[in-house]
């Protein structure tokens, strides 16, 4: 079975986010990018499947800052092939429709049976990438998956529903799964192992000629949460606040 795990990088929230001059995007000056946590789980799930059922795992990501680290780390965890999609991504915020189209052409070449990607990312403005990918590839998609088992050319996925319900679904391959959580947290790899991988692994670079970047949403304004006007902020000593609260409860009729 050929498993492909797709990842993307998102702003690292350790640094404070600033809005740029245009007021419609993040200021990238001091922004660091980190792998989308759900994609990290997708890679972990792929490796787990390989360890259990001997599949072949390829990990694919875009050529942006931080992608190399992710690819070498994936290789040190056991990925058989690591691929970087090179296109003119820098400076342009790439929407998920464009990313999905970009990945789709590579996935067709790789003849992927099972495609795993994170179910969501904090940069999903135009929708999450899983369903878009599935649509461009003409494959079924199941999201919010928290466990995957490969059985005779099919997979059985555990899908989470609201309210604590879980469904086990049998899915014919090829298919795309949106991973909510891998069966175990992404494993730690010793620095020496990653360094070794850097020496022995070659990152395959695949060039995308003229990517189709359409599909973006139009952002009118990006802003930090603003203090609203519908809340009454009660100030004063504990006694004063309590007295005011009692007054409010009486006003609205609950006391």
Partner 1 sequence: MVTTEAVVHSFYDKVLAATPHGEQLRVCLECGNCSGICPFGYLMTYPPSRLIAMLRADRFNKVLETDTVWMCVSCFACTAVCPSKIPLTFGLMTSVKEELLLAGNVPAELQTALANSQRYGNPQGESPRKRADWVKDVNPQVTIMAQARRPVDVLWFVGDYASYHPRVQSATKALARVLNALGVDFGILGPDESSDGDSQRLAGERGLFEILAEKNGKAFSKYQFNKIITTDPHAYNAIKNEYPQLGISYPVQHYTEYLIERLDQLKPLLKREVKAKVTYHDPCYLGRANGIFDQPRALLEAIPGVELVEMAHNHTNSLCCGGGGGGMWLDGFQWEKAHVRMSEWRVREAMTSGANILAVACPYETPRFEDAVKSLNGGRQLIVKDIAELLAEAIG
Residues contributing to the site for partner 1 (CB under 8 A) = 14-16, 30, 34, 185, 187-195
Q: How far is the CB of 32 from partner 1 (least distance, A)?
A: 9
Are residues 255 and 247 in contact, defined by beta-carbon separation less than 8 angstroms? no
CB of 54 to partner 1, least distance (A): 16
CA distance 5 to 118: 9
Shortest reach from residue 221's CB to partner 1, in Å: 26
Kindly state the smallest distance separating residue 103's Cβ from partner 1, in Å: 26
Rounded Cα distance, 131 and 107, in Å? 14
Toward partner 1, which CB reaches closer, 2 or 73? 73
CA–CA dist 217, 92 (Å, integer): 13
Q: Which residue from 45, 53, 57, 48 is spatially nearest to 3, judged by alpha carbons?
A: 57
Tokens 């690591």, residue located: 82
Closest CB to partner 1 among 189 and 222?
A: 189
Nearer to partner 1, 130 or 186 (CB): 186
Q: Which of 109, 104, 113 is nearest to 154 (CA)?
A: 113
Whichever of 70 and 139 has its CB closer to partner 1, that residue is 70
Nearer Cβ to partner 1 (98/197): 197
Residues 52, 150: Cα–Cα separation, whole Å: 9
Nearest distance, CB of residue 192 and partner 1, angstroms: 4
């Amino acid at each position: 079975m050929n498993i492909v795990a797709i990842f993307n990088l998102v702003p690292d929230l350790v640094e404070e986010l600033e809005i740029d001059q245009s007021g419609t995007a993040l200021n990238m000056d001091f922004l660091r990018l980190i792998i989308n946590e759900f994609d990290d789980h997708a890679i972990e799930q792929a490796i787990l499947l390989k360890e259990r059922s001997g599949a072949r795992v390829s990990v694919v990501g875009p050529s942006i800052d931080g992608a190399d680290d992710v690819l070498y780390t994936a290789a040190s965890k056991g990925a058989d092939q690591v691929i970087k999609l090179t296109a003119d991504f820098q400076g342009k915020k790439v929407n998920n429709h464009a990313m999905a189209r970009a990945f789709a052409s590579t996935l067709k070449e790789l003849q992927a049976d099972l495609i795993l990607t994170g179910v969501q990312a904090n940069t999903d403005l135009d929708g999450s990438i899983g369903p878009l990918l599935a649509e461009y590839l003409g494959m079924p998609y199941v999201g919010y998956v928290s466990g995957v088992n490969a059985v005779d050319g099919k997979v059985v996925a555990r899908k989470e529903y609201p309210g604590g319900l879980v469904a086990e679904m049998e899915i014919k391959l090829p298919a795309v799964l949106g991973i909510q959580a891998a069966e175990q947290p992404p494993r730690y790899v010793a620095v020496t192992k990653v360094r070794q991988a850097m020496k022995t692994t070659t990152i395959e670079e695949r060039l995308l000629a003229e990517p189709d970047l359409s599909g973006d949403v139009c952002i009118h304004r990006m802003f930090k949460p603003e203090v609203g006007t519908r809340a009454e902020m009660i100030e004063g000593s504990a006694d004063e606040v309590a007295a005011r609260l009692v007054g409010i409860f009486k006003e609205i009729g609950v006391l």
